[in-house]
A and B are shown apart, each in its own frame.
Chain A
Amino acid sequence: MPNSLRLAALADSVAVVGVGDTDYAVDYQRARDKQVDKDAYGYAALAFKRALADAGVACSDIDGLIAGPTLAGERLGEVLGIDPRWSAQGDAVNAIMQAAIAIHSGFAECIALVYGNNQRSKGTQYGGPRADGGERYLAYVYYAPWGMTSQGALYALMTQRYMALHGLKSENLGEIAMAQRRFAKMNDNAIMRAPLTTAEYLAGRFICEPLRLFDYCLVNDGGVAMIMTTAERARRMAKTPVLVSGVGRSDINSGATSLQPRLIDFYHTGHRQTAAQVFDMAGVGPGDIDLVQIYDSFSVHVLFALEGFGYCPVGEAGQFIANGAIGPGGRLPINTSGGHLSEAYMQGWNHQVEIVRQLRREAGARQVEGARHAQYISDVAGKVASVIYKREGS
């Protein structure tokens, strides 16, 4: 069982002090025009340089390096000229957790977390005979004889069952894509910025019914980097530190390939265990959170996460998100950069950048007024994880 005394010592002891990202919208057009001039490491390097500049630290200050899942650690270090004293590899949320653990325990003091992905120009497939991720998640490839493939189809099954159980309608589901698009309109770096109406959402073609085009994330090239260090050092730096206040994790593996925890439980067991840990460690509850970023490879992640993390009762997420409640000016702003649906699909990494900008009050037109606490939630394949960030001094 997690040890809450030890976790309490980790709370607020590590901060994010620098963020960098690449030019998603520009690069999306370049990829479409076959004018790409970078590979995954090229995007990673640009994001890293921007993160260093944002933090005001030199490359020689970096003593820990975490490579995102699409990069090889050695090559990343070679490209960036970093020979770290500590290194790891992980997806967005695990990279942050590993960095927090390493800094808190003294393995390193200033860690760069670096992600780069040229999935669009490289033609990464998320379904079919060459579906990405099948070596890690058997369900992604196991049902090919029946034509069952792609993560979107797995979420379509969940959505269909949810609709049958709770009476959710397509128009209602469309609120998620529409709310995130309204945020994206206020983000110059978002790929999809044109307004999206209910009629346009419903006119979007089905990919795997009941999910339509606008329920699916983008597939684009880009990179993200973050610099993390001790809270003490962060307080001596120029920008307002963003503290890692709580972390929680719960991996649901039992029955994963049969889809049992997905279809019967909507991963709520993992959500609840993670929520209990992250809220306890951060010393806050859902009512204290000013904005939430949810890993949204598909719109419906938002519904299941809201219910599982206690923002609303099970079966009521459809009502919760209605009437713009999760959009600009709503009672719980979600995916305020536009998320994976409208800003960029950086596999959870761009969500961290947005949280840092919001808590530093650097988010411009889409700034959530007075934001102090922000929560990140991901539940990819039932590996539920969450981080609560706090603006220093809150």
Chain B
Amino acid sequence: MSYEIIESCVNCWACVPLCPSDAIYEAKPHFMINKKKCTECDGDFISAQCASICPIEEAIIDSSGDFLNPEGSLTGISPDCRSQVMVEIQAR
């Protein structure tokens, strides 16, 4: 049971101090999660702390390979609405 940080990570540090298991560490080219330490915040928090502050969509995956923050989940704009929203924003 462990999450994994993948290459879309931008090394912003936000997750590191929040991890209750001290499982996240600085590494190149991006931060990593120590699989042995990660508990997916089970018993500590309702939601995984790293995934709750991560500003990047599709940067953390669970053990089945699914994104914790899929595309559109953080901007609040689903991929099929994107071009519509873009038109609205460009009219400002």
B is bound to A: no
- On B, residues with C-beta under 8 Å from A are none
- A residues with a Cβ closer than 8 A to B are none
